[in-house]
Structure 1
Amino acid sequence: MRHLPSALFIGFLAATMAFPPQLLMAQEAAAPAVEDQLPGLNYVPENAVGVGFVQADRFLTNPMVQAYPVEVAEACGKKYLGFNPMKITSISFVITPPSPDFPSPDMFAVIKTSETLSKETFFAGIESLVDGMAEDEDIEDAFPELNGKAFYTDAYQVDYVAAHMLDEHTFMLGSLGLMGEVVANGPNAKLTKPAETLAAANDGADGYLAFNMAPVRDQLNGMLSQQQIPPPFTMYKQVPNYTESVTLSCHCTEKMAATLKINGVDEAATGRLDDMIRFALDMGKQTMLSEADKLVNSEDEIEAAMGRYQIRVSESMLDALRPKKEGTSLVLSFERSDESIVGANIAVIGILVALLLPAVQQARSAARRMQSSNNLKQIGLAMHNFHDVYRGLPAQAKTDAEGKPLLSWRVMILPFIEQSAMFDQFHMDEPWDSEHNKQFIKHMPETYRRPNSTAPEGYTTYLVPVGKNTIFEAKSQPTSEGQKITKGAGFRDITDGLSNTAMCVEVNDDAAVIWTKPSDLEVDLMNVLKGLGNAQPNGFNCLFGDGSVRFISENVDTNNLKNIFQRNDGNVLQIPRD
């Protein structure tokens, strides 16, 4: 029976920390009034990229919800959470953008309930539902003011989840580290810009969403600057600079209506955004009408009729998508009525999702690329520290007395990436797949894990180039008995210069290797891009001998890449600069 309450709890997490249901049948009862200031807004940080509010009681009292086994949800809530989840009145949620330290967006929610919460029973039974509880030292480090529980669940792998009582009718639920910072800062005396944006959208709707451009503007501009966009669409690269925020308010219970606002940084910027939207709609209209005209001119009566239908409906739909300019905002409002075109409403939602999701995905991709770059920089620093201690780089493989490869260089630099305890547990005179050593495969350090990799557990995509004239060209020499490391080339052997020679690269997921295995990228000078090119969108990161990391395009000149891999060819390079 553990699966049922676990499933209900995961559903509860999804409902409070993600997006709520948006389409429910209307009910006759009047909706409760919305507070002048939406609850929880005084905890919204300045760097919030997404803010939302849901009038939860309107959904939970909806006849459609009452058709489900709410009694089970109530019983499970009281047993494991210490309160009845059906008594929740509102949910405010906050999403912060990805960062180098946290490549996934972080989030928390402020939940209000009409039921009186008790500290003794609040989340008291949660341990039997989750995958583990947070250690006291982790709580003390991240959130010493925690008034509740902190735990880990596979349903939310970003961080520990913390449940924190604010008062007898309000609690917070979200990432332990983020909530620790938010609570430590205390409620804001004055609403932050993202909170003000959401509050301004308050028109009594059932739910609101606000996207704040400022925290991700630089990331989006960086990504767009690298994109090859043909004229006349290059103007769309300026969208982040012109946009202040985007808000969406939805009525889903008493009526079906929605209002979308695209807010420009000033009136001039709003005018430019309006021009861009109108240009896109006009281009779409021309394309649609061109295809429809072909049908209209058909000798087949049915095809001609279909063409006329497409002309009539497409014009109506595109007209419905044209926003109205109101000061610094572009406004689209829709309400289902006898005269409305339901298809146009659906088209609007589809287009909005298509426009906003790529921006979020690109921001997340940029953060993951940055985290991977940081991993490579840590590897580079470890290589340099190893060289300082042993007067040489690690060999590509730790060998035995006969020169047989046993373990990867990744094992030999463990003490230099703060993994001395793991290093000391290896049997350095045994191969990577010995009965003792293979137990460490599943414990691969995070430094060796590329954030966006889909390789199996224990596989890394950080490999050194091996081959003629590379830094790791020489076959590893035999290692004296009892010696824990095998030394390779030194910096003096890299005559092309450290800043001109590749030391380690990101390979494609299908070229990943077990991290302890002495296996790396065999450079094929006839096919130098083999195993490379899609570790990141449009290319891969490369660690150079001086510790710098640069992005190599998938369209790199192959001769130039050959020169980058070779340490002593003397050729002039075109080194990419990030």
Structure 2
Amino acid sequence: MYRTAFSIGPLFSVASRWLPPLVAHGRGVCTIALAIVFASLFGSMGVAQTTDGQRMTKEFIPGEAIAMFQVHPQAILQDPALRLAPIEVISASGKHHVGVDPVDILAVRVVIGMPGPGGPEFGAVVTLEKPLEIESLNDKVIDRTSKREVDGKTYYSIPDSPPNAVLHQISPTQWIVGTEYFVTRMLSDQITDGPLAHLTSQTVDNGQAQALIVVEPIRPILSGFVNQALLQAPEELQDLSRLPELLDSIELRYTAKTGFAGDMTLNASDDVSAEEMELVIEKTRLYGRDSMLESIPLLLNEEGPVADSMRAYGVRLVNTLFDMIRPQAKGRSIVINTSDIQVDVASASILVGLLLPAVQAAREAARRMSCQGHLKQFALAVHNYHSVHKKLPSNISDKEGKPLLSWRVSLLPYLEENELYSQFRLDEPWDSAHNRPLAQRMPELFVCPSSPQIPGKTAYQVPLGKGLSMLADNPLRFRDIIDGTSNTVMIVETSPEWAVDWTAPDDWTYDADEPLAGLGGHHPGGFHVAMFDGSVRFVTLAIDPTLWYQLLTRAGREVIEGF
């Protein structure tokens, strides 16, 4: 077994991922699923009556099934622990959208098969406390005119849903909905036991919510998914790619008898696989713990007794939480038992509240560093361009000197964008029928990480004005930067509102009346500039206007002080 705590967050995440596709494929299926979703979400919030010791039946599980999810909505929704939950809203929504009160649902069993040409095959059996007549169902759920008989069973289509979605009444208190092929397989008298049916019959029903998955049929798919997810993962996590080969089945359970806890059981195919799986999980657990411990000082860079106490609490909380999920090998299973440990959610929430400003500050610091990196690459590209062409880059112009394309396009070969550069027609303007579509292929380097992305727009511009920047009537060289490359601004970071089409020969124009107009907005308090020496600096919006102008001129012969 492998057990770990979970609550409403992950379930809500799953719902938010799967509900949009359901809506896209048909409102009928979505409305039928509404009561199930509500019950599933709130099933992770309270204690439910259990049927400990009673094994689940293998009813409705064909041999080709790969996963089964079962939940008991009534037991969950009627629990006193949910006295503050919006039960009335859930009840009314179920009645309005489906015609069924979720409180009357005793059990929902969802069975999933291998994906077919038309998508995943599935069926959901809903067992009610009271008989439900077909007339009670909402018209959005059932197309009564589509009634047809197949092998002595009556099926109905579902409005605004895929053509293979059907609804069938098994008995006065039991209905099934799903893809037609899989529904007929679930109802077949000729069902043959498969690995999932066998696993289900050996599993105790906890009376709340649980899921079972057999790995063998989906091993190649699971391996591909895990390997793809690990492409950008640290080296310490790469051993997780072995899990699909080691696993035989997965069991998920929710139990709230002793607090917000859950069980995940990872069953290995043999003893050797179980030992290797334990090592992989333990290595991952330790990496997660150490990574969180290392981040605490970074999130709290303040000094003093209060900051010290927050760091100490963070360390204690992280160590406690990770101690709760320590794996133990038991036969061919890996066990992490949290059922007897109460997670103090309130305390954890307090820590989150205390750390949130620090986390936001850390994120902004990371974005600033990334933005600085972008400008450094621009500066390096300018230097490389100068080394090759013996001049600074300029706008691409026609024979009469009319600018056609930006200096940013000239730099593409020096930013590892040769392929994109070769697509431009350099004798046509940036907005020609050929060149205009290329603007949508703007490299990520041209975007400040802190700015809202505007397709084809960049905030990285050169300052325009008499005696400013590297753009001039005649080509310039570094030797023309008389004020010194470390004292002269080469590229500025404008506000999002002043962003320009990156391929257009447009840039930021200096205004003596409003010398800082259009600058800043990406980072609190100021903006970045790249100097001609290749360095990147952060300029505050409180900079002296005279000093700012002196930094912009390339040959003003000023003495720069205080920067």
Place the TM-score, normalised by the shorter chain, in its bin.
0.5 to 0.7
Cross-structure match for 1:376: 375
What per-residue deviation string (whole Å, max 9, x for no partner) do you get for residues 112-153 of structure 1?
9743202556548999xxxxx979x999x99999969xxxxx
For the Cα contact (< 8 Å) 1:443–1:458, is it kept in 2? Answer: yes
Establish whether residue 244 from structure 1 lines up as the match of residue 244 from structure 2: no
Within the candidate set 344, 358, 362, 1:259 is matched to 344
For 1:520, the aligned partner's letter is D
CA displacement at 1:504 relative to structure 2: 0.8
For residues 213 and 76 of structure 2, the distance between their equivalents in structure 1, rounded to whole angstroms, comes to 22
For the 8 Å contact 2:236–2:287, the answer to whether it is kept is no
Structure 2, unaligned stretches of length 5 or more?
Answer: 1-18, 27-40, 54-67, 78-101, 126-195, 200-209, 252-275, 325-337
* Deviation sequence 1:199-226 (CA, Å, 0-9, x none): xxxxxxxxxxx992423534652xx69x
Aligned to 2:388: 389
Cα deviation for residue 498 of structure 1 reads 0.7
> Residues 306-455 of structure 1: matches in 2 within 5 Å?
351-395=350-394, 397-455=395-453
* Residue pair 2:213, 2:250 contacting (<8 A) in 1 also: no
Q: Secondary structure at the match of 2:492?
A: strand
Gap regions ≥5 residues in structure 1 = 9-19, 33-56, 90-111, 128-132, 149-162, 172-184, 199-209, 226-233, 261-344, 478-487
Aligned counterpart, 1:28: 49
Give yes or no for contact 2:382–2:411 (8 Å, CA) kept in 1.
yes
Measure the CA separation in 2 of the matches of 1:142 and 1:217.
21
Cα deviation for residue 407 of structure 1 reads 0.3
Q: How does 1:284-295 map to 2 (within 5 A)?
A: none
Q: Secondary structure at the match of 1:212?
A: helix
Instruction: Specify the alignment match of 2:297 in structure 1.
Output: 217
Identity %: 29
Number of aligned residue pairs: give it.
363
- Cα displacement string for residues 347-378 of structure 1 (whole angstroms, at most 9, x for unaligned residues): x7775443232222222221111111111111
* Pick aligned residue for 2:512 from 525, 543, 551: 525
Give, in angstroms, the shift of residue 421 of structure 1: 1.1
Q: Which amino acid aligns with 2:536?
A: V
Structure 1 partner of 2:150: none
Report the equivalent of 2:247: 167
Structure 1 letter corresponding to 2:22: L
Deviation at 1:461, TM superposition (A): 1.1
Aligned to 2:267: none
Match for residue 22 of structure 2? 4
Distance 1:211 1:384, change over 3 A: closer
The answer to whether the 8 Å contact 2:219/2:245 transfers is: no
Pick closer, same or farther for the CA change 1:497–1:519 going to 2, 3 Å.
Answer: same
| Structure 2 equivalent of residue 472 of structure 1 | 470
Q: State the Cα distance separating 1:406 from its structure 2 match.
A: 0.5
Asked if the contact 1:82–1:124 (Cα under 8 Å) also holds between the matched residues in 2, the reply is no
Select which of 475, 481, 490 maps to 1:494. Answer: 481
Aligned-pair distance for 1:400?
0.5
Asked whether the equivalents of residues 465 and 505 of structure 1 are also in contact (C-alpha less than 8 Å), the reply is: yes
SS of equivalent to 1:433: coil
Q: Deviations over 1:218-256 (max 9, x none)?
A: 4652xx69xxxxxxxx76565676553544879xx9999
Distance in 2, matches of 1:525 and 1:23, equals 62
CA RMSD in angstroms, aligned pairs only:
5.2
1:433 Cα offset (Å): 0.3
1:520 offset after TM fit, Å?
A: 0.8
Q: Distance in 2 between matches of 1:458 and 1:403?
A: 25
Q: CA deviation at 1:563?
A: 1.7
SS at 2:379's partner residue? helix
Instruction: Tell me the amino acid that sits aligned with residue 378 of structure 2.
Output: I
What is the rounded CA distance, in whole Å, between the counterparts of 2:377 and 2:49 in structure 1? 61
Report what 1:289 is aligned to.
none
Q: Is the 8 A contact 2:42 2:76 kept in 1?
A: no
SS at 1:168 equivalent? strand
Q: Distance in 2 between matches of 1:517 and 1:258?
A: 57
Distance 1:443 1:256, change over 3 A: same
Q: What TM-score do the two structures reach when normalised by structure 2?
A: 0.53
1:116 aligned to which of 207, 214, 218: 214
Of residues 397-406 and 21-30 in structure 1, the stretch that sits farther from structure 2 once superposed is: 21-30
Indicate how the Cα distance of structure 1 residues 255 and 27 shifts in structure 2: closer, same or farther if over 3 A, else same.
farther
Q: Is the 8 A contact 1:213 1:245 kept in 2?
A: no
Deviations 1:164-193 (A, max 9, x none): 66522369xxxxxxxxxxxxx997689579
